[in-house]
Structure 1
Amino acid sequence: MSEVKKIIRRGLNGKVQQGMMRNVMKQFNEAADFLGINSNVRKILSHSNNELVVRFPVRMDNGEVEVFTGYRVQHNNSLGPYKGGLRYHKTVDLDAARALAMWMTWKTSLAGLPYGGAKGGIQIDPSAYSPAELERITRRFTYALADNIGPDHDIPAPDMNTNDQTMAWMADTYMSMRPPAERSANQHVVTGKPSASGGLEGRDRATGYGVFLTIKLLLEKKGQDLKDKRFIVQGFGNVGYWAAVFLERMGARMVAVQDASKTLYDDSGISVEELHEFCLKNKSVINGFSGGSTLKDKDFFSVECDICIPAALGNQITKENAFEIKASLIAEGANGPTEDAAEKLLISRGTQIIPDILCNSGGVIASYYEWLQNRNGELWNMEEVMEKLERKISASFEKVYDLSTSEGISLRMAAYGIALNRIENAYVQRGIFP
């Protein structure tokens, strides 16, 4: 489409930005060095296949037109179609999309899925727009991307500030652009849809469940359980909420929670469901909730606890605040929440980190099941879905843990080792065209 500007391997105006991309490249290069990855494969994986920037006009409720900028980075598809979320946030840019797309490549590979990695979104504060405006923005974004996504090419999903409704609008728009005879066959162009529109039962809780399950599995390896464990959660969106739900059900208690509006603390425990109900009634923010006392935002990571779950934005745990962390276990619910220098400091202190590409992989695994469900014309109930999720995540965890233990390496290095080895094998076996 004329609205799509393809930028191959370089950023806007040729500038390569820093931030999360610097972090993911450090992780990749350290793992590639340790594993001795084929030099040619390493060159390929260091770059994105395609980087798209789209600008599109949308009429607002007041009749004025605004022009929005959207992104989609397709990192690698050696193992299958590109797969990854779309987020609506003011921090979305090409640098962030590059990093997140690369992490998706490692995540889908580690999980053993027939997918590659992609990511994108719109640079927008969705709270500033009405539901009707968000629908028009989403449909116009889908129209702009339509030649570059597809059920066997690039399959978007929900991410930060997008949800099942967003995916329903995207699917409907995309299917409406197909010939009538092909429309129903394109339902799986996106995943994370409402269950009534072809979505998967349990998709909403899948990522948070994966965070919970990997924590539970790691504690079991140490001869421990979750009863009376104290945990803190940064970000009380879909991932943070569901992780907290499952942890609380196992006897753990949430002693601190933080979002962009406030930080709350109560050593006796903050009720997960009461806070969730409050958020549903108050524009999804915790500010104003009466339970717990208010902490300064900078003091969140210093709260006494056993488990820390960063489930918000990337680069939240830095070398400046890592020394404050009291938790012995960090479970990365967000993508790239821990900077490389901070991780080295934490590991030297004996802190264990469940890496993002394992810890929050439940979402993309559930997306795979939804994709299969749509392709095969099947319907699975909640119990079936949760059983499939538990088996798949547990299998990935065991592989990572066993490699970490046998080689004396971090869980992240082990996860990268498994993920990169699978992709490397695909390239070595197939060769490079021509």
Structure 2
Amino acid sequence: MLKTKTISKQNMYDTVMKQFNKTADIIELNPNIRKILGITNNEIIVHFPVKMDNGKVEVFTGYRVQHNNALGPYKGGLRYHTTVDIDAAKALAMWMTWKTSLTGLPYGGAKGGIQIDPRDYSLAELERITRRFTYALGENIGPEHDIPAPDVNTNTQTMAWIADTYMSTKSTSERSHNQHVVTGKPVGSGGLEGRDRATGYGVYLSIKLLLKTKGEDLKGKTFIVQGYGNVGYWASHFLIEDGAVLIAVQDAHATIYNENGIDSEKLAQHTEPRKGSIKGFSEANEIDATEFFGLDCDIVIPAALGNQITAENAYRIKASIVAEGANGPTDNEGEEILLQNGVTILPDIFCNSGGVIGSYFEWLQNRNGELWQLEEVLQKLEKKITENFYKIHAEVQKREVDWRTAAYILAITRIETAYTQRGIFP
């Protein structure tokens, strides 16, 4: 086993650029297209004032980075987190471009958010912050131009506020044609049945399909999850339903462990009144955070933030599968260690793509005035994810490369083909 304790200083933008350049070298990407894809199309920074509950005004900074729209409108989430800055938004936007391309969707990539900890604000303040941010973005978003969605610390309510604010800036006759300016809305406000579980379902399905290629199934497989938000919960829900055993969960406040299994539903009920914290869950023991990645298990699911698996901790991982529920959770140094140790990494641009596929279904539903049932949505998700899995699997076998490299080759080649066929204006 390769071991190293060299501490990684790499940020997410460094990670995504190294991944892109590695792939561009492998496929001998057209140098002109390489120049285009190596930069963002637009980087939008807005500063906007909001009156707080105490009557004082705070000025917030919001970001929206639009990386590329060669395949269709920009698409990507908005997150409310203290780590949001222009470099993080650029990295996440680029990952979205690869993700939408890989999944075969008619979208490009974008990302953004506000640099705040939403726990510091009341619900009324968050509504005013969100609405003012939407107004500040103005025509930089739109149902055929740039379609935001939920991400870290944003949810269906956030999307409902954005949609309502955006539509209120349109004339009465135009409002009904702008509902799909965001996806991830509440079902009662044009949202999609099953959108809440789409990302976690995709994580579960990607693991199940990988095990199937090895002649195995999920029964008795142990797994650990970092981050117990929407993705972590739903991935756990489906994995446990299929026979796997959740033995540890980590969030920003605690790391809990029970070798006999953790009940995902009870843990979800525990976190609800605590704004997502797993701390204090009585049916598991709290352990030191540094022990988490080294726990003896079959599957690791990082479903929190970027750059969590690095040279500092990758050598501790005993699992044979890392399924990236988060965007960019493994940096390049950490990945090198995992691959040398024989770990299969299901890359983020495939593993968590169920969310953007679900978003596409919602967008279509709104555009066409349709209503899709939950069973239909999950069937469509399974079909799309399974098709994409076997395309990547074939590339892995043909080129004898790791899963991320194979996924990147497919994603970037599709965009290269679009540019080659259309040419560069003028």
* Range class of TM-score, shorter chain: over 0.9
Structure 2 match to 1:58: 50
Asked whether the equivalents of residues 193 and 200 of structure 1 are also in contact (C-alpha less than 8 Å), the reply is: yes
Structure 2: give runs of 5+ residues left out of the alignment. 1-8
CA distance in 1, matches of 2:282, 2:138: 45
Asked whether the equivalents of residues 18 and 95 of structure 1 are also in contact (C-alpha less than 8 Å), the reply is: no
| Aligned with 2:284 (options 280, 289, 292) | 292
Question: What is the CA distance between 1:342 and its match in structure 2?
Answer: 1.2
CA distance in 2, matches of 1:77, 1:49: 8
- The percent of aligned pairs where both chains have the same amino acid is 67
CA distance in 1, matches of 2:263, 2:186: 27
CA distance in 2, matches of 1:263, 1:417: 36
CA distance in 2, matches of 1:320, 1:90: 23
CA distance in 1, matches of 2:389, 2:311: 27
How does 1:241-256 map onto structure 2 within 5 Å?
241-256=233-248
Moved more, 273-282 or 70-79: 273-282
Asked whether the equivalents of residues 46 and 136 of structure 2 are also in contact (C-alpha less than 8 Å), the reply is: yes
Structure 1 match to 2:133: 141
Provide Cα deviations, 1:43-76, integer angstroms capped at 9, x if missing partner: 1000000000000000000100000000000000
| Aligned with 2:256 (options 264, 274, 287) | 264
Q: What amino acid maps onto 1:263 in structure 2?
A: T
Structure 1 match to 2:6: none
Question: What is the CA distance between 1:18 and its match in structure 2?
Answer: 6.4
Structure 2 match to 1:11: none
How does 1:357-376 map onto structure 2 within 5 Å?
357-376=349-368
Query: Are 1:430 and 2:417 an aligned pair?
Result: no
Structure 1 match to 2:88: 96
CA distance in 2, matches of 1:282, 1:135: 20
1:256 match: secondary structure = strand
Query: Are 1:301 and 2:312 an aligned pair?
Result: no
CA distance in 2, matches of 1:251, 1:392: 23
How does 1:285-434 map onto structure 2 within 5 Å?
285-434=277-426
Taking structure 2 as the reference length, the TM-score comes to 0.97
Asked whether the equivalents of residues 10 and 331 of structure 2 are also in contact (C-alpha less than 8 Å), the reply is: no
2:44 match: secondary structure = strand
Q: What amino acid maps onto 1:191 in structure 2?
A: T
Structure 1 residues 18 and 94: CA distance shift in structure 2, 3 A: farther
Which is bigger in relative contact order (C-alpha 8 A, separation at least 6)? 2
Question: What is the CA distance between 1:146 and its match in structure 2?
Answer: 1.6
Structure 1 match to 2:3: none
CA distance in 1, matches of 2:380, 2:388: 13
Question: What is the CA distance between 1:406 and its match in structure 2?
Answer: 1.7
- Segments of 4+ moved more than 4 angstroms: none
CA distance in 2, matches of 1:386, 1:301: 31
| Aligned with 1:36 (options 5, 28, 32) | 28
Provide Cα deviations, 1:95-124, integer angstroms capped at 9, x if missing partner: 000000000000000000000000000000
Question: What is the CA distance between 1:341 and its match in structure 2?
Answer: 1.3
CA distance in 1, matches of 2:251, 2:351: 20
| Aligned with 2:103 (options 105, 111, 126) | 111
| Aligned with 2:221 (options 225, 229, 242) | 229
| Aligned with 1:216 (options 200, 208, 215) | 208
The alignment covers a number of residue pairs equal to 418
Q: What amino acid maps onto 1:328 in structure 2?
A: S
Asked whether the equivalents of residues 63 and 114 of structure 2 are also in contact (C-alpha less than 8 Å), the reply is: yes
Structure 2 match to 1:203: 195
Q: What amino acid maps onto 1:144 in structure 2?
A: A
Cα RMSD for the two superposed structures: 0.8
Q: What amino acid maps onto 2:48 in structure 1?
A: F
CA distance in 2, matches of 1:332, 1:191: 22
Question: What is the CA distance between 1:282 and its match in structure 2?
Answer: 2.0
1:185 match: secondary structure = coil
